[in-house]
Amino acid sequence: MTRLILFPHRRRGARRPPPARCPRRRPRSQLLRRPVPSRHRYAGSVPFDLRNQPVDRRSEAALAARGLGYRSVDPSDRAGLDAWAQADQRGFHHLRPTESDLEHERRIFAERRVHGVYDPTGAEPAIPVATISSWPTGLSMPGGRSVDAWAISSVTVAPTHRRRGIARAMVEAELRDAVEAGAAVAVLTVSEATIYGRFGFSPAARAATVVVDRRRAVWKGPDAPGRTHLVDPRSLRDAAPQIIRRAVARTPGEIDRWPVLLDRVLGLIDPESEGARRTRAIRYDDQHGETQGFVTYRITREPDRPGVLEFDFMAAATDDAERALWRALVEVDFIGSVRGTLRSVEEPLPWLLEDPRAVSVEEVLDHLWVRVLDPVAALGTRRYGVAGSLTLEVDDPLGHAAGTFELEVSNGGRAEVRRVEASEASPSSSRRSRRAGGIRLGVPELGAILLGDVRPSTLARAGRIGDAGALELADAMFATRKAPQLSIWF
Sequence ranges of the binding site for acetyl-CoA = 155-157, 163-168, 191-192
Distance CA 299, CA 279 (A): 8
Catalytic pick from 7, 48, 70, 196? 196
Distance CA 278, CA 55 (A): 42
Report long-range pairs for 296-300 (Cβ below 8 Å, ≥24 apart).
296/233, 296/265, 296/266, 296/267, 297/329, 299/332, 299/335
Any bridge partners for residue 372, and if so which?
Answer: 185
Q: Which residues in 403-424 are b (16+ Cβ under 10 Å) and which e?
A: bbbbbebeeeeebebbbbeeee
Q: Which residues contact 469 (CB under 8 A, 6 or more apart)?
A: 437, 438
Its sign, for the CA torsion 373, 375, 377, 381, is positive
- Angle between helix axes 57-64 and 166-181 (nearest 10 degrees) is 170
Catalytic pick from 313, 405, 478, 490? 490
196 labelled catalytic: yes
Distance CA 386, CA 404 (A): 21
Report the DSSP pairing between strands 388-395 and 438-442: parallel
Distance CA 112, CA 106 (A): 10
Residue 311 CA to its chain's centroid (Å):
20
**How many residues in total does the chain contain?**
490
* Phi, psi dihedral angles at 271 (to 5 degrees): -55, -25
| Contact call for residues 435 and 399 (beta carbons, < 8 A) | no
7 labelled catalytic: no
Instruction: Compute and round to an integer the Cα radius of gyration of the chain.
Output: 24
Q: Tell me the H-state helices in 38-140.
A: 57-64, 78-91, 99-109
Opening angle at CA 347, ends 346 and 350, nearest 5: 115
| Contact call for residues 324 and 331 (beta carbons, < 8 A) | no
DSSP 295-322: EEEEEE--TTS-EEEEEEEEEESSHHHH
The three state secondary structure string of 382-414 is CCCCCCEEEEEEEECCCCCCCEEEEEEECCCCC
Distance CA 293, CA 302 (A): 30
- Where in the sequence numbering do the catalytic residues fall? 196, 490
